[in-house]
Amino acid sequence: MGIDGELRAHGTVVVVVPGKKYNEVLCRDVAQISRGKKICYFTFNKTYQGAKELLEEAGVNTRGIFFVDGISKAMGISMRSQVETISSATSISLLESISRAIIPAAPLQAEGRCFISSPGSLTEISALAQKFISQKFDYLIFDSLTSMFVYQDKEKIGDFVKHATLQAKKGRTKEIFFAVEDKFVEKNVHVGKLAGKVLKR
């Protein structure tokens, strides 16, 4: 069964990949689900531009993908003044207002990207994910789950994946987490019990 079939069957899928094959598998799976679909791509180990170029070099049409860059601010990479940002200290109510501002009714017609504080900013990530779900996006992609371990406690990440799985079961939006095999095993967050399905590639 292809990744699209697994997502239809399970709602949330964690794809565990050896480091050497990571980008190859990532691009192949994104290509399978991206045709004619609305996708939000959370990138936690590459800048927005780096993720976009990687996918395009593999033949993926990125025009239907909205990128959430979670690494540029954490690395201190400067942004142009008009780029929207979110503060990790923002309250939930204010965060919802900001997310409405940075993700308009037709988000794919905007800049195609926004920036958050870091891969460990689970409040920001969750609020944005919920916003995309409410706008009936087909898929949320998280690249990668293992990068989040650097910035956040593994139990909290486990809770995040569990919540994502419950969200996916309730609505049409499916969620896919990519993870590097050795780091995934090392952290042993028992994601297999929290996600709909774990695929080892």
Q: In whole angstroms, what is the distance from residue 27 CA to residue 43 CA?
A: 13
Model confidence band, residue 82 (pLDDT cutoffs 50, 70, 90): very low
If we measure between CA atoms, which residue out of 33, 15, 35 comes closest to residue 25?
Answer: 15
Model confidence band, residue 106 (pLDDT cutoffs 50, 70, 90): very low
pLDDT at 46: 92
79 has pLDDT over 70: no
What CATH number has the domain spanning 3-200?
3.40.50.300
Summarize pLDDT for 163-197 with one digit per residue, the tens: 888 888 888 899 999 999 876 765 655 666 678 88
Summarize pLDDT for 112-148 with one digit per residue, the tens: 899 998 899 999 999 999 999 989 999 999 998 888 8
Return the H-helix or E-strand segment holding 168.
Answer: helix 154-170
pLDDT at 185: 64
Token readout for 164 is 């994502």
Asked if 20 and 26 count as a contact pair (C-beta separation under 8 A), the reply is no
Q: In whole angstroms, what is the distance from residue 72 CA to residue 130 CA?
A: 22
Domain ranges of the chain: 3-200
Summarize pLDDT for 33-54 with one digit per residue, the tens: 998 899 999 999 999 999 999 9
pLDDT at 91: 44
